[in-house]
Amino acid sequence: MLREQRLQFIKAHQAAFEVEPLYPLALFEALVETFDEDCALEASCKIEFDQLIASRFLIFFSQNFEQNLARVLNFIRQVNQRVDVQINTDLLYHFLGRGFDFRKMIRLATGVDLRRNLADSSLKIHIRLNDYPEKVKTALALHGNPDDASFWADLNAIANIGLDFYLDGRSEIEVYPELTEERFQQPEMQVLLLQMFPPFVLAPLKVSEIFGFGLSKANPSAVLYYQLKNKRDLPSYFAINNKAQQVHGYYLHQDTRPYMWVGVAQSELAKTRIDQIRLYYHQIFKAQGID
């Protein structure tokens, strides 16, 4: 039953947004079905003007990390068996190194971001760390150690590391600094944020639990991430276009978690209408049923 519920979450998203069965979505669904333990699923849409990219899914694990990473790597190997696919996971092994301490991993995720052009499709691995500064330094070195990333590392704000493996052999590493509500409400942090960002960037923090940043060479500017406490607050703080409204309208009527994530560039927030945005919705699946 748990496996069916997880698969139904993915299928419902596919049906709602007419997601094509692009390669390797079927292999990802098979991966999702293999797990019996508690997990969470994320379905997301990337809106680029009137274009909707909806074949985007992640599965999250909060236990058995070494075993689950082995399963994830097996999934990647299965995807790589197709003759026109070439996946290079060297970046992951450089990051893990020898003797990686899995006790300092608190979340593992993997997923897909699929496009009609196979070369633009990617597999994703996200690793969340707890008090593992050595690996943050490793990630920064692999990333290229930009000044903005180093700044957040000095504030001990980087805990999440993302790796993208494109099906044409390219790979990227992304670091995700984040501030919890408790931290961004501290007076000294508010002074700092006001120095760094205009008021329209900080306005959604009134209804957010987490404020984060995605720093990657693949993006010309940082992506700002907000975890909204209640997905119903989205239109009050983000002037989304019609395509994004269609996506959000669907999820307002779905039994997903009350919170949601929003990813957007600062340049988009400055506009009277946001035409490029990422919307993320979640559900938690436990052995005793959906939470």
160-174 pLDDT, tens digit each: 999 999 999 999 999
The CA distance from 227 to 240, in Å, is 16
pLDDT reported for residue 150: 87
Q: Do residues 130 and 106 lie in contact, with contact meaning Cβ atoms separated by under 8 Å?
A: yes
In this predicted structure, what is the pLDDT of residue 197? 96
pLDDT at 147: 75
Count Cβ atoms below 10 Å from residue 244 Cβ, excluding itself: 26
Question: In the numeric block, which tokens belong to residue 99?
Answer: 């003797």
Owner of token pair 């599965």: 59
pLDDT, tens digit, 9 for 90 and up, residues 264-287: 999 999 999 999 999 999 999 987
